[in-house]
Amino acid sequence: MSEGKESGLKPVVNESGLDIKPVYDARDVEASGGSERIGEPGAFPFTRGIHKDMYRRRPWTMRQYAGFGTPEATNGRFRYLIQNGQTGLNVAFDLPTQVGIDSDDPMALGEVGRVGMAVDTLRDFEIAFDGIDLDKITVSLTINGAAPALIAMYFAMAEKRGYDVSKLRGTAQNDILKEFIGRGTWVFPVEPSIKLVGDTILYCAEKAPLYSPVSVCGYHIRESGANPVQEVAYAFCIARAYIDHVLERGVKIDDFAARLSFNFDIYGNLFEQVAKFRAARRLWATIVKEEYGAENSRSMWLRMIAGGGGAGLTIEQPENNIVRGAYYALISALSGTQTMALCCYDEAYTIPSEKAARTSLRTMQILIEEMGLCDTVDPLAGSYYVESLTNEMEERMRAVMAEVEAEGGIVSGVREGRVQDAVSRQAFERLRKRERGEDRKVGVNCYKVEEEEERAIEFHPFNEDVAASQVRRLDGVRAERSEEAVRGVLNGVREDAGAGRNVMPGIVEAVKAYATVGELTTFLVDAYGRYEEPVCL
């Protein structure tokens, strides 16, 4: 029985399943595992942050998610955000690009440029990043199933503009296992998909050692239904699967682990979220050091982008999302993130407007300039509640990871659909709780306004001319390029895939010849096949 019940108070259980006491003291910290592992900022196990001085030396990177319509329109939004103080770019691609089909494919009808930038060839990258200084601003590519082609295009574009790829910084999402769990922009079966992730890691380790070729995304698993503990635990199981694969290919842990990064979600209870990240940093450092024998402290860092909170936003009373976003940003800063991104207040129902994007950007800037979030490192350290919760969250994460391993590991769990099934069932139960009023959501199931005044809602318009202009550009590229050269490099990619070789060198040459995303996908499907989603009952 919890202390709340014993005292006559209503019991409180957070989303991770932990009973929350009315009062915490030093005894709770010791009972939960003690304070010995809090440590110092910038030192193992990095509970308090991966850098000694954290934001006192440099604030977090502000990297709003952006991209829509044509490369020209996306370039305009990029420039707008940079002019307003954004310090990193996070590129959204449309659905056809994400699943590896070209804009003129019948399957792309009605989706070209709708929820992100349309990309068919290297020409689109050249337009989208025109005038963007890649030495001054880092770029994150939110792409998964078609990640090898888009990473190759980014490198080819940068090289064509005179940048040294070996010094280029940036990130690709490229976490395909979470796609099987949470989003669905997969293309190939599970094992070949992991192999492709490994190809990008190995290629970058040799050619672009400062680039992060995969950002492991607990974010989307959480948005799909997982609780905060599961979000981290599943992400770490996925990261271990990628590490194991690369190690099997003969690469040492310290040759690539420092360039792995993570993407985590923020919405819900403030203290639960902060404790989640402090526990996650400590757990990841311990895994990499003790399980994999890493010696370089950078290999043990949990480098992360944390923010978003899309599942926490509501269509109802959308102005409340501005307040929610401010709290999500506060949590992210208190948690020690390296990069922050916020969903905009109108993102629950439309592509964000410029005003909404600027409001989210200003929210992060206010924390830096006015709220004192950069003054000191890990300001919640030493709180009886936060330290107890951090210890308990870590133990819960370990337990979930052990359960996944006991059932055969994350790869088999994804391949057979068990993980997807568990997350989906939990999402359904969360919805039921909200419908019953047990999960209280302001403006949705409590503090509702039955007769809200009518107001104009600014929707992002969908322009059918976008698809037509994109197809015209694609036709123009095909008319200009050497079909013989393209066919030759594509055949080489298919041969490399069939022989089990790293396909990235061939893909880079193919995109330089202006092969399309759809063509590359087709040739890889010839070798790997397509994924068919299992159905669990």
User: φ, ψ for residue 446 (rounded to 5)?
Assistant: -155, 150
pLDDT score for 532: 86
pLDDT for 461 equals 65
- The two most distant CA atoms of the chain are separated, in Å, by 79
Query: What superfamily does domain 12-436 belong to in CATH?
Result: Methylmalonyl-CoA mutase (3.20.20.240)
Enclosing H/E stretch for 90? strand 88-92
**Residue 510 and residue 491 in contact, taking contact as beta carbons nearer than 8 Å:** no
Q: How many residues can be counted in the chain?
A: 537
What local confidence, expressed as pLDDT, does residue 458 receive?
Answer: 63
User: Cα dihedral sign for 347, 348, 351, 356?
Assistant: negative
Contact criterion met (CB below 8 Å) for 233 and 186: no
Cα–Cα dist 338/302, whole Å: 9
- Structural domain boundaries in the chain: 12-436, 464-528
Taking only the tens of pLDDT, the chain with its 537 residues reads 455 555 689 999 999 999 999 999 999 999 999 999 999 999 999 999 999 999 999 999 999 888 888 999 999 999 999 999 999 999 999 999 999 999 999 999 999 998 899 999 999 999 999 999 999 999 999 999 999 999 999 999 999 999 999 999 999 999 999 999 988 899 999 999 999 999 999 999 999 999 999 999 999 999 999 999 999 999 999 999 999 999 999 999 999 999 999 999 999 999 999 999 999 999 999 999 999 999 999 999 999 999 878 899 999 999 999 999 999 999 999 999 999 999 999 988 888 888 999 999 999 999 999 999 999 999 999 999 999 999 999 999 999 999 999 999 999 999 999 999 999 999 999 999 999 999 999 999 999 987 665 656 666 666 788 899 999 999 999 999 999 999 999 999 999 999 999 999 999 999 999 999 999 999 999 999 999 887 655
Question: Residue 467 in 3-state DSSP?
Answer: helix
* Contact criterion met (CB below 8 Å) for 530 and 187: yes
* 252 vs 278: CA distance, rounded Å: 27
Quickly count: other Cβ atoms within 10 Å of residue 188's Cβ: 22
Which of 77, 58, 59, 57 is CA-nearest to residue 67?
Answer: 77
Return the half-sphere exposure (C-beta side, CA atoms, 13 A cut-off) of residue 226: 26
- 232 neighbors 280 (Cβ within 8 angstroms): yes
Asked if 238 and 177 count as a contact pair (C-beta separation under 8 A), the reply is yes
3-state secondary structure of 501: coil
pLDDT of amino acid 1: 41
Res 26: pLDDT: 97
The structure tokens listed for 276 are 């989640």
